C-alpha cells in the first residue's frame, strides 16, 4: 500500500531528526512528533527506508565515526563518543 504524501514527508523529517539530533531522542517522542503511534511509526519507517529507526540511528552514528577516523583527526575513543561531527574539538 503506497504511503500518502503527508506520511511520506513526516517519515523523512523523522529520519532527519534521527540522523542529526545532537542528543539522542526517544523513538516515542519522534513518533509522536510524526503523528503516529510508536508501533505504526516503526513499521512505516522500516517499510520506507528498509531498516528500523533504531538500526538507522546506529548506522548514522557509525558513519559519522567512520568519517572522523578516515580524516585521521581523532582517536577511536573520541570518535566513538561523538554524536555529531560538530562535537569534535578544533584541531
- What is the number of structural domains in the chain? 1
The pLDDT mean for the chain works out to: 82
Does the CA dihedral 14-19-63-65 come out positive or negative?
negative
* pLDDT attached to residue 8: 93
* pLDDT attached to residue 83: 53
pLDDT band at 24 (very low <50, low <70, confident <90, very high): confident
Domain of 74? 5-85
Is 91 domain-assigned? no
Report the Cα 73 to chain-centroid distance in Å. Answer: 23
Instruction: CATH number of the domain at 76, please.
Output: 1.10.10.60
> The pTM is what?
0.74
pLDDT, tens only, 77-88: 665 666 544 444
Is 90 domain-assigned? no
Does the CA dihedral 24-29-35-38 come out positive or negative?
positive
Is 49 domain-assigned? yes
pLDDT, tens only, 44-82: 999 999 999 999 998 988 887 788 777 776 666 665 666
Answer yes or no: are the C-beta atoms of 48 and 8 closer than 8 Å: yes
Amino acid at each position: 500500500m503506497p504511503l500518502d504524501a503527508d506520511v511520506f514527508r513526516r517519515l523523512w523529517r523523522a529520519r532527519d531528526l534521527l540522523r542529526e539530533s545532537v542528543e539522542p531522542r526517544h523513538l516515542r517522542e519522534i513518533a509522536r512528533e510524526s503523528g503516529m503511534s510508536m508501533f505504526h511509526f516503526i513499521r512505516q519507517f522500516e517499510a520506507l527506508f528498509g531498516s528500523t529507526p533504531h538500526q538507522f540511528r546506529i548506522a548514522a552514528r557509525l558513519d559519522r565515526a567512520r568519517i572522523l577516523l578516515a580524516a585521521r583527526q581523532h582517536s577511536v575513543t573520541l570518535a566513538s563518543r561523538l554524536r555529531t561531527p560538530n562535537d569534535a574539538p578544533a584541531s
